[in-house]
């Protein structure tokens, strides 16, 4: 295994970016150990830079460190899924309802553009399609104009990405069948006048993903 060498900007941040990318592309799956010595060699940075980068990822909830046990990518357990998706459902509901009253024409156009890109790239699947999925939600939060709400989303965003990648790997056809239509519906409702329907739809969008992933995890344990 080898990783691209880090560019010489903030080496801790650059190391975190490279390790995060490697987690999202499956190089380091959930539960995998992250060894400072190996990472420092592959990234061509000091162990101190790697250590600081891993601390950044731990604050994102993407890795876990334990005394004498080192650092590992977080695992995907039913409890983790329940906690993260429950928080996300509440945040997405609030972001969508806020965007309903604050989104500018440019904000709405950005949502439409992302849905169009999803439909055009549906055959590419995997991480590329998920990147558009996450970009859509980034745009909804940005449209809310609430900086603290954006910060709350950023606190769980990396975990959502990791869990969604696991969901897609487990049930790709289910994800592909839903992703364009569900985001198009959200984009339409955010420019409409039905807040209750928007709130239910935003929450169900998250809970359908939660149920799909939990079903897969239950199947793995039998």
Per-residue pLDDT of the chain (222 residues; tens, 9 = 90+): 567 665 555 899 999 999 999 999 889 988 899 999 999 999 999 999 999 999 999 999 999 998 877 899 998 899 999 999 999 999 999 999 999 999 999 999 999 999 999 999 888 766 788 999 999 999 999 999 999 999 999 999 999 999 998 888 888 888 898 999 999 999 999 999 999 999 999 999 999 999 999 998 987 765
Question: What per-residue confidence (pLDDT) applies to 28?
Answer: 92
Question: What per-residue confidence (pLDDT) applies to 105?
Answer: 97
Question: What per-residue confidence (pLDDT) applies to 221?
Answer: 66
CATH number for the domain including 178?
1.20.120.530
**Domain count across the chain:** 2
Structure-token match 């509901």, residue found: 93
104 and 193 inside one domain: yes
129 and 34 inside one domain: no
* Cβ atoms 109, 92 nearer than 8 A: no
CA 184, distance to chain mean position in Å, is 19
Give the range of the structural domain holding residue 27, as residue numbers without chain letter.
Answer: 11-73
139 and 210 inside one domain: yes
Tell me whether residue 5 is in a domain. no
CATH number for the domain including 26?
1.10.10.10
From residue 66, give the alpha-carbon distance in Å to each of 4, 51, 55: 27, 13, 12
Question: What per-residue confidence (pLDDT) applies to 53?
Answer: 95
47 and 90 inside one domain: no
42 and 115 inside one domain: no
91 and 178 inside one domain: yes
179 and 98 inside one domain: yes
Tell me whether residue 147 is in a domain. yes
136 and 50 inside one domain: no
Tell me whether residue 1 is in a domain. no
Helix-strand-coil percent breakdown of the chain, rounded to 5? 75, 5, 20
Question: What per-residue confidence (pLDDT) applies to 39?
Answer: 96
96 and 130 inside one domain: yes
Question: What per-residue confidence (pLDDT) applies to 151?
Answer: 96
From residue 104, give the alpha-carbon distance in Å to each of 111, 129, 208: 11, 25, 29
């Amino acid at each position: 295994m080898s990783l691209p060498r880090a560019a010489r900007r903030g080496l801790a941040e650059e190391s975190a970016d490279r390790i995060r990318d490697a987690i999202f592309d499956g190089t380091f799956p959930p539960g995998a150990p992250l060894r400072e010595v190996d990472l420092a060699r592959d990234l061509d940075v000091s162990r101190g830079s790697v250590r600081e980068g891993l601390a950044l990822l731990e604050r994102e909830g993407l890795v876990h460190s334990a005394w004498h046990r080192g650092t590992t990518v977080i695992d995907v357990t039913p409890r983790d899924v329940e906690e993260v998706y429950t928080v996300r459902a509440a945040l997405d509901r609030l972001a969508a309802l806020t965007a309903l009253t604050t989104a500018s024409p440019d904000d709405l156009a950005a949502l439409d553009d992302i849905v169009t890109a999803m439909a055009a790239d549906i055959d590419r699947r995997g991480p590329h399609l998920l990147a558009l999925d996450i970009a859509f939600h980034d745009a909804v939060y940005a449209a809310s104009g609430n900086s603290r709400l954006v910060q709350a989303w950023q606190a769980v965003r990396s975990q959502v990405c990791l869990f969604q990648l696991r969901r897609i790997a487990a049930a790709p056809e289910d994800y592909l069948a839903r992703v364009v239509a569900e985001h198009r519906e959200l984009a339409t409702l955010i420019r409409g006048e039905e807040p209750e329907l928007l709130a239910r739809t935003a929450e169900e969008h998250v809970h359908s993903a939660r149920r799909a992933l939990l079903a897969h995890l239950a199947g793995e344990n039998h």
